[in-house]
Amino acid sequence: MLTRTWIDNVTHRHPVLLLAAVCIDSAYRNQGMGTLLVKEALQRAKRLGLAAVFVVGDPAFYARFDFRPAIEFGIGNADQIEDQYVLALELIPQALQAVAGIVRLPQ
């Protein structure tokens, strides 16, 4: 699932997408289903034309899709989640380069 959210900074609100964390039933794990779901979600996100996708999840899993800690882009979160678990992926190269701020994660 992709949800619209935003990054707030002092001058602008930047629209981005939040990818719901992927969870596969243990009977179906290690068969590539999670990878297929994430790839499909990212393809859809690109078609929507937004600059970036965020996810809160396991850095080891999402790194295979080039997600990086959002804090590396100068983007924190307003929900007191440890920085290592709030990950960002630029759908448009360098889209987050000058967007430092706080990402708002829907409740």
pLDDT tens, position by position, 3-15: 999 999 888 888 9
Interval 76-91 mean pLDDT: 93
CATH ID of 2-104, from 3.40.50.300, 4.10.220.20, 2.60.40.420, 3.40.630.30: 3.40.630.30
What is this structure's pTM? 0.90
Pairing verdict, β 2-8 and 13-19: antiparallel
Interval 30-52 mean pLDDT: 92
The DSSP element (H or E) to which 35 belongs, if any, is helix 33-48
Question: What percent of the chain stands above pLDDT 90?
Answer: 70
Distance CA 84, CA 35 (A): 20
With CA atoms as reference, report the closest residue to 96 among 83, 106, 87, 85: 87
Is the per-residue pLDDT at 82 higher than 70?
A: yes
pLDDT band at 36; cut points 50, 70, 90: very high
On the 0-12 / 13-18 / 19+ scale of CB atoms within 10 A, 12 is exposed
